[in-house]
């Protein structure tokens, strides 16, 4: 039997309901299924579209997995979100215990219902692009040949407050 080909993928992670507890729990559970190889700086950010909500903690995690992109999203990440109390509703701006999104999956380009890679939000949300750039400084976005560094330069630079102490706690869980 041949081992599945390992792919490097990047996940956007965020929470604004008990975020430290939920991000630690998500990392712990995710490590049981895939190899987590990097944790970006975690940033405190204002909620999009809902100023009355609590701030988010957002970051990016690098993983290695033999799972395909769709099984990773629907068989691992969505059930993990549910296990941590995430309830998906029609309100896309609702507060959430945990949000786990596949941002990149190797050099795969996909535009299908329920799965778009690279995630289009990378070009719109500084709280995804900046932490991804930290983990992959030479990254060129698949399908566009655009350096991630150029995307970050286009985005508004404000609103990211690094949370170094909590970042250190997450990295300590990985042993580094």
- As annotated, the active-site residues are 86, 96, 99, 101
Distance separating alpha carbons of residues 30 and 94, to the nearest angstrom: 23
Q: Are 50 and 112 in contact (CB under 8 A)?
A: no
Residue with tokens 């691992």: 76
Distance CA 89, CA 56 (A): 18
Return the DSSP state at 120: G
């Amino acid at each position: 039997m041949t081992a599945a080909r390992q792919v490097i993928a990047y996940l956007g992670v965020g929470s604004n309901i008990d975020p430290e507890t939920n991000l630690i729990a998500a990392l712990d559970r995710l490590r049981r299924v895939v190899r987590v190889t990097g944790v970006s700086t975690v940033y405190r950010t204002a909620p999009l579209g809902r100023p009355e909500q609590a701030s988010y903690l957002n970051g990016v995690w690098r993983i290695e997995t033999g799972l395909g992109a769709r099984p990773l999203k629907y068989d691992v990440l969505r059930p993990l979100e549910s296990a941590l109390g995430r309830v998906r509703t029609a309100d896309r701006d609702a507060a959430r215990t945990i949000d786990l999104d596949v941002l990149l999956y190797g050099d795969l380009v996909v535009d299908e219902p329920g799965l778009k890679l690279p995630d289009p939000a990378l070009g719109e949300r500084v709280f995804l692009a900046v932490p991804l750039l930290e983990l992959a400084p030479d990254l060129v976005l698949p399908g566009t040949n655009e350096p991630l560094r150029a995307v970050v330069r286009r985005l508004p630079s404000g609103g990211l407050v690094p949370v170094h102490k909590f970042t250190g706690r997450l990295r300590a869980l990985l042993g580094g």
